[in-house]
Amino acid sequence: MSTAAIIVALVTFVLGALLALLTIPVLVWLERRVASLIQDRLGPNRTNIGGFRFGGVVQSFADVVKLLLKEEYYPSHIKNGKWLFMFAPIITFAAALLAFMAIPFADTIIINGQALRMSPLPIDFGVFWYLAIGAVGVLGIIFGGWLSHNKYALLGAARAASMVVSYELPLGLSIVSFIIAYNTVDFNAMVVFQSGVFFGAIPAWGIFIQPLASIILIVALFAETNRNPFTVAEGESEIVAGFMTEHTAMKFAMYFMGEYVAMNTASAVIITMIFGGYNLPWVSTQMILENFETFALSLMVAVPLIITTLILWMRKNNRVRPTVSTDAGRNFETKVLTIVMISMALFVESILIYLAFIGQDALMQNIAVTLFQIVVFVIKLMMFNIFFIIIRWTVPRFRYDQVQKLGWYYLLPLALLNIFITAIIVVGAGL
Amino acid sequence: MSQKTRVSGIPSHSVKVTARPNNSFLNKLYLPAIAQGVKVTFKHLWTNVNDTNAIDVLEYPEEQPTDITDRYRGLHRLTHRADGSEACVACFMCATACPSNCIFIEAEERKDGLDEKQPKSFFIDTLECVFCGYCVEACPCDAIRMDTGIFSLTGSKREDFVMDKEKLLSHKGAFAEEISCARH
């Protein structure tokens, strides 16, 4: 292995771990803030470190400290399978985390003629990896519910099992039509395919090529991640907290974090398979590299615009009402963050100027494009996570038999039909 | 099929069949309805993100509520008569009426000669109190009232929540009537 390969492997691993783990507190905070803003409330916005609130995201870190310090309660009625009871949340968490590792954060980078994948697991069968590992997560839910020896937990586990029966087939079959359409099982090759156009002008995103399969995939992934409207396994109005009724402190937190990692993973899969992954529409990696000066110039225009919008928004919203006497350090926070943002923008601008006009080094340009794609990936990921959250606070929960009916009567035949149509078109048109 | 077997024994005119409203394909598709719902929630999210200070919430404790009416049952107080002496005559009516038994009175002979009895000590355990207002209604001398407008009571130990006579007498009425309205 060359030095470049080792560096890229380390960077992608750290990036994958950060994107999967550091997004948990951000997502918990985002969920609470988006929910409250949808319901015309404010949500957690007070917790701060030295006056820096960052919109209240510090609250999530305080919550982690609280969960770590909580009493480790172990229900005494559980005699058998104690280790599996403790191990079950880890299964759910680890499965979601591992499934995320096959997602490419940027296009394959070529250093000294060596192609290096920008995903923590450099495999070219990412779709199979995701299907195999992602499906293990529900085992943790079933084990945890079953071994709790509690009727609510058992009912939750049974419901989780019924959910698997409902969504797993449509999920797999909708992915089959994507595999036929893209002619690959490699996530990165899927994104490369989607950076093209079809019918002249439309970006070749999965949502335009395979609209039906896209909808089935999104619905099935909502079910797989146990998110609303498919939270039947933890219906708190009927079965308390479902499978995690008996789990407390960090065991509960593992389930809780696993849910958010799973949501993050599902978002990543959705944007990679049907929303063009790390690429902007109409723009492929090759195009950026060939027209690097145009790319740099447009980015140099875009970055100040985005930063200005952010600063203006912050100046308007990061302050207390006129009726409130204490400012609680918000003006100071706004001032510091404004300086940080402007200096970051200047830093990015100077790097772009250097790369585009002064030292036109191909390798450096390559790395810059990779960084840009990672930023695009993260932005898309967060946008789809917000979509997940908005759906949660919009749609009421399905009953579990309704989920089964939806899966077997509607999604499964539609997915099969879609495979036939796709296959006929692909074979008939000889694509 | 199950529908038919269930109603087979019942005469058909007594079975009320309610047609589902709007059973169209578009409605059964469910996705347009979700899109409509997302439109509503997203509109709320967008307006609130763009101007967080315009959200109609109270930023307690910096902003205090202004809508406490004079019928609000706040923390108790003991009233004074017009001449400044305490209105309570230690009749134990409030302690008898109290459903949570949180009023503790010890009576003694009145020293100022205005009446026969006065409370030697008067404790209200506000941790036990359910703020029902029965004591106020029971009082024949209008000596105990809940019109202080105090809704937030804090302390660092349990003893902080047991109000003694001096504390109760020191509370001011938040509304118009300051002194006891009873005839003495």
Q: In angstroms, what separates the C-alpha of A39 from chain B's closest C-alpha?
A: 7
Give the pLDDT confidence of A216-263 residue by residue, as tens digits.
999 999 888 888 888 887 777 788 877 888 888 788 888 888 889 989
Interatomic CA distance for residues B137 and B133, integer angstroms: 7
> Which residues of chain B have a CB within 8 Å of the CB of A394?
34, 37-38, 40-41
Find, among A149, A53, A106, the residue nearest to A367 by Cα. A106
What's the pLDDT at A123?
Answer: 85
What's the pLDDT at A162?
Answer: 85
Backbone angles phi, psi at A52, to 5 degrees: -90, 115
Whole-number average pLDDT of chain A: 86
HSE-up of residue A194 (Cα within 13 Å, Cβ side)? 28
Residue A406 DSSP label? I
Q: For residue A229, is the peptide bond before it cis, meaning its omega torsion is within 30 degrees of 0?
A: yes
> Which residues of chain B have a CB within 8 Å of the CB of A55?
none
At residue A270, does pLDDT exceed 60? yes
Residue B9 lies inside a defined structural domain of this protein? no
- Looking at the complex, does the CB of residue A390 fall below 8 Å from at least one CB of chain B? yes
Strand pairing category for B117-125 and B162-163: antiparallel
Number of domains in chain B: 1
Q: Is the distance from CB of A125 to CB of A116 less than 8 angstroms? A: no
Contact assignment for B41 to A390 by CB distance below 8 Å: yes
Most confident of A109-123, A235-249, B92-106: B92-106
**DSSP structure string for A340-400:** HHHHHHHHHHHHHHIIIII---HHHHHHHHHHHHHHHHHHHHHHHHHHHHHHHTTSPPPPH
Contact assignment for A390 to B45 by CB distance below 8 Å: yes
Q: Is the distance from CB of A379 to CB of A276 less than 8 angstroms? A: no
Contact assignment for B44 to A323 by CB distance below 8 Å: no
**DSSP structure string for B32-89:** HHHHHHHHHHHHHHHHHHH-GGGS----TTTSPP----TT---S-EE-B-TTSSB---
At residue B7, does pLDDT exceed 60? no
At residue A423, does pLDDT exceed 50? yes
Q: Which residue has the higher pLDDT, A164 or B98?
A: B98
Domain ranges of chain A: 3-282+361-429
At residue B3, does pLDDT exceed 80? no
Interatomic CA distance for residues B117 and B107, integer angstroms: 7
What's the pLDDT at B44?
Answer: 92
| Percentage of the residues of chain A whose pLDDT score is greater than 70 | 99
Contact assignment for B63 to A215 by CB distance below 8 Å: no
The nearest alpha carbon in chain B to A316 belongs to: B51
Find, among A380, A427, A406, the residue nearest to A215 by Cα. A406
**Confidence band of A307 (pLDDT split at 50, 70, 90):** very high
At residue A341, does pLDDT exceed 50? yes
What's the pLDDT at B106?
Answer: 92
What's the pLDDT at A386?
Answer: 92
Interatomic CA distance for residues A212 and B179, integer angstroms: 76
Interatomic CA distance for residues B79 and A125, integer angstroms: 81
- Whether the CA torsion A290, A296, A302, A307 is positive or negative: it is positive
Contact assignment for A393 to B41 by CB distance below 8 Å: yes
At residue B1, does pLDDT exceed 50? no
- Looking at the complex, does the CB of residue A396 fall below 8 Å from at least one CB of chain B? no
At residue A37, does pLDDT exceed 80? yes
| Percentage of the residues of chain A whose pLDDT score is greater than 90 | 19
Alpha-carbon distance values, B77 to B88, B100, B129, B165, B173 (Å): 11, 18, 14, 9, 8
- Looking at the complex, does the CB of residue A34 fall below 8 Å from at least one CB of chain B? yes
Q: Which residue has the higher pLDDT, A308 or A366?
A: A308
Full residue range of the structural domain in which residue B117 is found: 77-170
Q: What is the mean pLDDT of residues A114-121?
A: 83
- Whether the CA torsion B44, B50, B53, B59 is positive or negative: it is positive
Identify residues of B whose CB sits under 8 angstroms from chain A CBs.
Answer: 31, 34, 37-38, 40-42, 44-45, 48-53, 55-57, 59, 62-63
Contact assignment for B51 to A394 by CB distance below 8 Å: no
- Identify the CATH number of the domain in which residue B158 sits: 3.30.70.3270
At residue A83, does pLDDT exceed 90? no
In this complex, the residue of B31, B37, B52 whose CB is nearest that of residue A317 is B52
Tokens of A316: 């308007």
**Confidence band of B2 (pLDDT split at 50, 70, 90):** very low
Give the pLDDT confidence of B120-157 residue by residue, as tens digits.
999 999 999 999 999 999 999 889 999 888 888 889 99
What's the pLDDT at B157?
Answer: 92
> Which residue reads 């079933």 in tokens?
A142
Tokens of A296: 């740099």
Interatomic CA distance for residues B53 and A42, integer angstroms: 9
Q: In angstroms, what separates the C-alpha of A407 from chain B's closest C-alpha?
A: 14
At residue B61, does pLDDT exceed 90? no
SS3 B118: strand
At residue A284, does pLDDT exceed 60? yes
- Looking at the complex, does the CB of residue A39 fall below 8 Å from at least one CB of chain B? yes
Residue B17 lies inside a defined structural domain of this protein? no
